[in-house]
Structure 1
Amino acid sequence: MAATWEESVADSINAVYLLFSAYLVFLMQLGFAMLCAGSVRAKNALNIMLTNVVDAVVGSISYYLFGFGFAFGGDGSNSNPFIGTGFFALHDIPNSAYDYSYFMYQWAFAIAVAGITSGSIAERTQFGAYLVYSFLLSGFVYPVAAHWVWSPAGWLSPNAPGGATTGLLFGSGAVDFAGSGVVHLVGGVAGLWGSLIEGPRVGRFDAFGQPVPMRGHNATLVVLGTFLLWFGWFGFNPGSFDKILVSYPDSWSEGNWTAVGRTAVTTTLAGAGAGVVTLFGKRLLLGHWNALDVCNGLLGGFVAITSGCSVVEPWAAIICGTIAACVLIGLNVVALKLKFDDPLEAAQLHGGCGAWGLIFTGLFAKEEFIVQAYASGATGVKRPFGLLMGGGWGLLGAQVVELLLITVWSSFIHTMKSAKGKGATKKETKEALKPVEDRVGKRKAAIKADKGNKRRAKKEKAAIKDPNKPKRPPSAFFVFLEEFRKIFKQEHPNVKAVSAVGKAGGEKWKSMSDAEKAPFEAKAAKKKGEYEKLISAYNKKQESAADDGDEESDRSKSEIHDDDEESEEEEEDDDD
C-alpha cells in the first residue's frame, strides 16, 4: 500500500533528522582527534592523528561488511538474542525496519568507540596491531554489545512490540538510551586492556615508581576538541530517538520533539555539573586551576548522562554529572597508585563514568519518560523505573546485568587477543615514532645548534671569570642536601641518578619542621657572613687595581707624548 503524502513528508523529515544527527556524531571524530593531539607530546601528534584516521576508514569497511549485521541482523524466526545473523554488507537494506540513514547513524557510533580507545594506547602502540584492533572493535566487539541492548531481538533489549514488557529482562530490559554502556563502557574497557597490554610509556614512572609528568604539548587543541565533542553530543544523545515526528497519544502538544529538547537539556546540565565539580575539586587537591582537568570532567558528565539522558529530569542530570566528576577524580588517583598509564584518562573517563551512568539510570529514571522513549508514549503502559523514584529493583537489576556482561565481554575478547601478541617494546616504540622524528629532524637540529651556540658562549664567558672571586654561599637547603647526599648513597647504593637524590632531598626538606631546619639555616647564615666579608675585600682590591691601571695608562700616554716631542726636536736639528 502506497504511503500517504503526510506519511511521506514525515518519513523524509525523520530521515533528514537522523542524517543530521549522524553528521554531528561523525564530527566527534574531529573532536577526538584534537583532544588526542593536544594531550600527547609534540613528537607523537602525527602518529595519533594517523590512528584517528584509521578508526574512521577501517571502521567504515568493517562495520559495512560485518558490524551492522552483527548488531541488527535477523528478524522473525532468524532472530538471535546474542548476535545478529543478517544484513551483512547491507544485504536486504533498506527494508521496513532499517534504511540507509539508520546505517549511517549507527556507523558513526561504531567508529566513535574506536576513537575512544586510540587515546588510551597513545605514544606506544604498534601500528599493525592497531589496525587489527580497530577492525575487530568496530566490526565485532561493539556490534555484539549493541545487539544485546538496541536490537529488538537482543536479550537485554528494553524494546517490545506495543510497549509490552513480556519477555524483557526483569520485566524491564536495560535502559541504555544512547550508550553509556554499549558505546562508552565498551570503549573504556577496551582502552583499559590496551593500556595494560602495552604497559606504561617509557619514562612515565621513575626508579621509585613515582609518576613523571608527561604533559600534552597543546592545551588549545584539548579545549577545541572538548567543545567539538560537546557539540557532537547533541547528535549523539537527542539523535538516538531516530524519529522526531512522533506524537504521544495522551497529549496533543507533546511528542518526540519535546523529549528531544529535554534530552539536550539533561546532556548540557550533566556536563556542566561535572565541569564545575572538577574545577573546584582539582583546585582543592592540587592548589591551582587547571583547564585540562575541567575538560575531562565535562566529558565525564556527558558520558554518564548518555544512558539516561531521555528518561531523567534536568535536576537529576546535575546529580549525575556531580558524581561522575567524583568517580573520574577517584579513578585517576587509583590509576597513579597502580602505575596505570592512560594519556587521555579514557579508561577512567569512558569506562568508569559509563558504568556510573548505567547505575544512575537505574536509580533516577522516570516512568513517564521511559514510556515515551520506548513505547512512543502509549497510554496505560506500565514499566519498571528508577529505584529512588519508587520504581522498584527491576530496572536497576537490568542495568547491573548490562554493566557486568559488557565488562566481561569486552575483557574476554581483548584478553584473548593479548595472548597472541604483546605490547610494543621500547625499541619498537622508538622505531614506530622514527618517521615522525625524521620529519621534524631539521627543526630539532636547528634548535640543538642554537642551544649549542648559547652553551659555548656561556662557557667562553665563564672562562674569562676571575678564579679568585669568592663563590656565592649555598642556601640552607643546599647545606642540608650536602649532608643528605651522603646518607642517601649509603641507603640506596644502586641509585646513581643525581635527579633522584635531588628529588628525595626536596621531599625530605619539605617534610621537616622549622626546628629541624634551624641548624642548616644557621650554617647557611654563617657562610653568607663569611662570603660578604670576602666579596667586600675582593671588590676593594678590584677597585684599587682599576685605579692603578688608570695611573699606569696615564703614565704610558705621557711617555708616548714625551717621546713624540723628543723625536720632533731631533728632526728639527737634522733639518738645520
Structure 2
Amino acid sequence: MVSVWPPGSSSPVPVGCGEIVGLIESPGSFLSFIINREENTFRPLPHICFRFLSLISLNMSGVLSCSATDLAVLLGPNATAAADYICGQLGTVNNKFTDVAFAVDNTYLLFSAYLVFSMQLGFAMLCAGSVRAKNTMNIMLTNVLDAAAGGLFYYLFGYAFAFGTPSNGFIGKQNFGLKDFPTATNDYSFFLYQWSFAIAAAGITSGSIAERTQFVAYLIYSSFLTGFVYPVVSHWFWSPDGWASPFRTDGDLLFSTGAIDFAGSGVVHMVGGIAGLWGALIEGPRLGRFDSGGRAIALRGHSASLVVLGTFLLWFGWYGFNPGSFNKILVTYESGSMNGQWSAIGRTAVTTTLAGCTAALTTLFGKRLLSGHWNVTDVCNGLLGGFAAITGGCSVVEPWAAIICGFIAALVLLGCNKFAEKLRYDDPLEAAQLHGGCGAWGLIFTALFAKENYLNQIYGVKPGRPHGLFMGGGGKLLGAQLIQIVVIIGWVSVTMGTLFFILKKMKLLRISAEDEMAGMDMTRHGGFAYMYFDDNECHKAIQLRKVQPRSPSPSGVTTTPV
C-alpha cells in the first residue's frame, strides 16, 4: 500500500497498486506523479509541469523548463530541489530526443545518397544498351570514371565551390578538401549526397558523346564538370549565399522569391544536357548517322533489355533524388504534426511517379502515330524525360499538376528529337534533348503550378510569396525561372563549350575514323564486351580477310568469312 494525494485533497489516501493503475489509465485523472520515497507516497504533478513533459513528444527540439514557483504549491520547501531534479531530467531527455532526431535525419539523407548513387548503375545499363555492341566496354568504363574522377574532384574543389562558407553570391571559398568540416549546418552525409548529384550530371553528358570520344576526353570533362562547372551552378541556386537561391540569407531574393529548382531540373539535368549538347555539336555526328543528303539513318543500340533494366534502376534511384532533397524528415509544419515534412516527402514521391508514368504513356502513343511502331526504348526515354521535368517542382505542386508536367515533357522530347534530326545533331542517348529540353520545361512548369503554402513550408514563410502563375501567384516566379534557364545555358556553354573546343584543337576529343568503324572495345580496350568463345579458339564467323572486290565498293575492300 502507498498513499496518493487526490486532486483537491489536503491529506494522502491509502491506495493499492491496482488503484494507482486505475487512476493513471482513467480519463481525466492525473497521468503523472511524484514519488516521495521517505513517506512512500505519490503526489500529482501540477498541470503546468505535465504540459512541459508533453512537449517532449510534440516538439523534439523544444526547450523544456519547470520552475520552483510552479512546484511550490504542492511541494512546499522541497520545491527548489524538486524543480532542479525535474528540469535536469527533462533536459537529459530533451538532449536524447535531439540526438535521435539528428540520427534519423542523417540516416535518411545517407539512404537517399545511396539511392542516387545506384542511379550510376542505371546510367551504365542505359548507355550500354543504347550503343552498338562494339562500344559496350568503352561506355561502361566511362561511367565508372565519371563516378571515380567526380568523387576526387568534388572532394578537392567541388563541394567548396558549391557550399563552402564564407562565400559570395557567385562561388564558395572555403572547405577545400573538406577542411574545417563538418560545419555547424552540414555533415558528411550532406557531402555524400551532393557528390551523388554531381556525378549524375557528368553521367548525362557521357551519353551525348558516346561511340566516338577519346578516353582522355572523358577524364578531362568529367573532372572539370564535377569540380567546377556544376558546383558553381549549385551554389547559385541551392546555397544560402547564392545570388538566385530561395534560401538566400544575406540579400534580397531574386524577384522576391528566388529560383525554385528543388531537386535539379536545371542544376543537374540542364547542366548535364547542355554540356552534352556542346560536346556532340563540336565532335559532329557518328559515321553513318546521316547520309550524303542529310537524311537520318538509325544506329540503334544493341540491347533493349539493358535499356529497360537501366530505366528501372534510374526510376528506383529517383526516389532518393527527389524526396531525398528535403535533407531532413523530422520537421513539423505549422499546419499540424500530421502534415509534417514526412507527408511532403510522400507527396513528392507521388508527383515524381505520376509525371514519369504520364510521359511514358504519352511517348508510347506519340511514337506509334509518328512511326507506326511500339518502341520500348522510346518509351523509356519518355519516362526519364518526365522525371527530369518534374524534378524541379516535385515538392511544390499537386499530384494532378504532375500529370500535366509529364504529358508536356513527352511532347517536348518528341519535338526536340525532330529538331535535332533536321540540324543533323547526333546524340546516341538523346541526353541533350531529354535532360536539357525537359529540364528547361520543368523549370517553367514550376513557375506555372507551384502552390504558395507548399513553398512556404519548404522555403520558409513569406507573406505574399510569389508562386505559380496559374495558381494566382503572378509572374515573378516565372521571371526568376526564365533567368535560371538563361544563365545555366550561358554558363555551361561558355565553360564546357570552350573546353570541348580546346580538346578538339588539341586532337584529344574524337577518335580516328578507323577506330570508330572497328569499335572502341577492340581498338582501345583490348577485346569485346561479349565473348561467345574462348580466346584461343578459332571461330570462322568473325575472322575476316582482305580480298580484291569483284565490283567497285565504297571502301574498295570486301571482307568475307574465312
**2:149 aligned with 1:58, yes or no?**
yes
Structure 1 gap segments, 5+ residues each = 454-494, 499-576
Give 2:252's aligned residue: 167
Give 1:205's aligned residue: 290
Q: 2:383 aligns with which of 289, 298, 303?
A: 298
Per-residue CA deviations over 1:513-552 (Å, capped at 9, x if unaligned) read: xxxxxxxxxxxxxxxxxxxxxxxxxxxxxxxxxxxxxxxx
Q: Secondary structure at the match of 2:503?
A: coil
Give 1:564's aligned residue: none
Give 2:226's aligned residue: 138
Q: Is residue 300–residue 350 contact of structure 1 (8 Å, CA) maintained in 2?
A: yes
Per-residue deviation, 1:92: 1.3
**2:418 aligned with 1:333, yes or no?**
yes
Compared with structure 1, are the counterparts of its residues 451 and 139 closer, same or farther at alpha carbon in structure 2 (3 Å cutoff)? closer
Per-residue deviation, 1:449: 2.1
Q: Secondary structure at the match of 1:158?
A: coil
Per-residue deviation, 1:153: 0.3
Give 1:152's aligned residue: 240
**2:497 aligned with 1:415, yes or no?**
yes
Q: Is residue 38–residue 220 contact of structure 1 (8 Å, CA) maintained in 2?
A: yes
Q: Secondary structure at the match of 1:85?
A: coil
Compared with structure 1, are the counterparts of its residues 438 and 53 closer, same or farther at alpha carbon in structure 2 (3 Å cutoff)? closer
Q: 1:449 aligns with which of 529, 535, 540?
A: 540
Q: Distance in 2 between matches of 1:451 and 1:55?
A: 33
Compared with structure 1, are the counterparts of its residues 166 and 251 closer, same or farther at alpha carbon in structure 2 (3 Å cutoff)? farther
Per-residue CA deviations over 1:467-508 (Å, capped at 9, x if unaligned) read: xxxxxxxxxxxxxxxxxxxxxxxxxxxx9869xxxxxxxxxx
**2:484 aligned with 1:399, yes or no?**
no
Percent identity (aligned): 61
Which residues of 2 match residues 103-114 of structure 1 at below 5 A? 103-114=191-202
Q: Distance in 2 between matches of 1:42 and 1:329?
A: 26
Per-residue deviation, 1:200: 0.7
Q: Distance in 2 between matches of 1:451 and 1:30?
A: 31
Q: 1:83 aligns with which of 171, 195, 201?
A: 171
Per-residue deviation, 1:410: 0.2
Per-residue deviation, 1:252: 3.0
Q: 1:73 aligns with which of 161, 164, 188?
A: 164
Give 1:284's aligned residue: 369
Q: Distance in 2 between matches of 1:347 and 1:452?
A: 38
Q: Greater shift after overlay, 137-146 or 2-11? A: 2-11
**2:513 aligned with 1:426, yes or no?**
yes
Per-residue deviation, 1:206: 1.5
Give 2:18's aligned residue: none
Give 1:439's aligned residue: 527
Which letter maps to 2:489?
T
Compared with structure 1, are the counterparts of its residues 448 and 335 closer, same or farther at alpha carbon in structure 2 (3 Å cutoff)? farther
**2:98 aligned with 1:33, yes or no?**
no
Q: Distance in 1 between matches of 2:357 and 2:388?
A: 12
Per-residue CA deviations over 1:72-121 (Å, capped at 9, x if unaligned) read: 0123xxx3000011011111111111100000100100111111011111
Q: Is residue 521–residue 527 contact of structure 2 (8 Å, CA) maintained in 1?
A: no
Answer 1 or 2: which has greater helix percent: 1
Which letter maps to 2:223?
F
TM-score when scaled to structure 2? 0.76
Compared with structure 1, are the counterparts of its residues 448 and 282 closer, same or farther at alpha carbon in structure 2 (3 Å cutoff)? farther
Equivalenced residues, count: 448
Per-residue deviation, 1:180: 0.1
Per-residue deviation, 1:190: 0.3
Give 1:383's aligned residue: 465
Which letter maps to 2:226?
S
Which letter maps to 1:59?
G
Which residues of 2 match residues 393-542 of structure 1 at below 5 A? 393-422=475-504, 423-424=509-510, 425-427=512-514, 429=516, 432-435=520-523, 438-440=526-528, 449-450=540-541
Q: Is residue 362–residue 395 contact of structure 1 (8 Å, CA) maintained in 2?
A: yes
Q: Distance in 2 between matches of 1:340 and 1:433?
A: 24
Q: Distance in 1 between matches of 2:541 and 2:147?
A: 41
Q: Distance in 2 between matches of 1:333 and 1:420?
A: 29
Q: Distance in 1 between matches of 2:260 and 2:286?
A: 38
Structure 2 gap segments, 5+ residues each = 1-90, 545-551, 556-562
Per-residue deviation, 1:212: 1.6
Q: Secondary structure at the match of 1:4?
A: helix
Q: Is residue 245–residue 253 contact of structure 2 (8 Å, CA) maintained in 1?
A: yes
Q: Distance in 2 between matches of 1:286 and 1:349?
A: 19
Q: Distance in 2 between matches of 1:59 and 1:452?
A: 40
Q: Is residue 395–residue 454 contact of structure 2 (8 Å, CA) maintained in 1?
A: yes
Which letter maps to 1:216?
G
Which letter maps to 1:181?
G
Q: 2:136 aligns with which of 29, 45, 54?
A: 45
Per-residue deviation, 1:33: 0.2
Q: Distance in 2 between matches of 1:197 and 1:299?
A: 25
Give 2:81's aligned residue: none
Give 1:118's aligned residue: 206
Per-residue CA deviations over 1:334-378 (Å, capped at 9, x if unaligned) read: 111111000000000000000000000001100011111111xx4
Give 2:427's aligned residue: 342
Which letter maps to 1:140?
F
Per-residue deviation, 1:436: 5.7
Q: Secondary structure at the match of 2:106?
A: helix
Q: Distance in 2 between matches of 1:211 and 1:273?
A: 28
Q: Distance in 2 between matches of 1:82 and 1:437?
A: 41
Q: Secondary structure at the match of 2:338?
A: coil
Q: Is residue 127–residue 432 contact of structure 1 (8 Å, CA) maintained in 2?
A: no
Q: Distance in 2 between matches of 1:57 and 1:304?
A: 27
Q: Secondary structure at the match of 2:320?
A: helix
Per-residue deviation, 1:197: 1.5
Compared with structure 1, are the counterparts of its residues 284 and 69 closer, same or farther at alpha carbon in structure 2 (3 Å cutoff)? same
Structure showing greater Rg? 1
TM-score when scaled to structure 1? 0.75
Give 1:192's aligned residue: 277
Q: Distance in 1 between matches of 2:340 and 2:388?
A: 25
Q: Distance in 2 between matches of 1:220 and 1:170?
A: 47
Per-residue deviation, 1:51: 0.3
Compared with structure 1, are the counterparts of its residues 170 and 220 closer, same or farther at alpha carbon in structure 2 (3 Å cutoff)? same
Q: Is residue 117–residue 188 contact of structure 1 (8 Å, CA) maintained in 2?
A: yes
RMSD of aligned residue pairs (Cα, Å): 2.3
Q: Distance in 1 between matches of 2:393 and 2:180?
A: 32
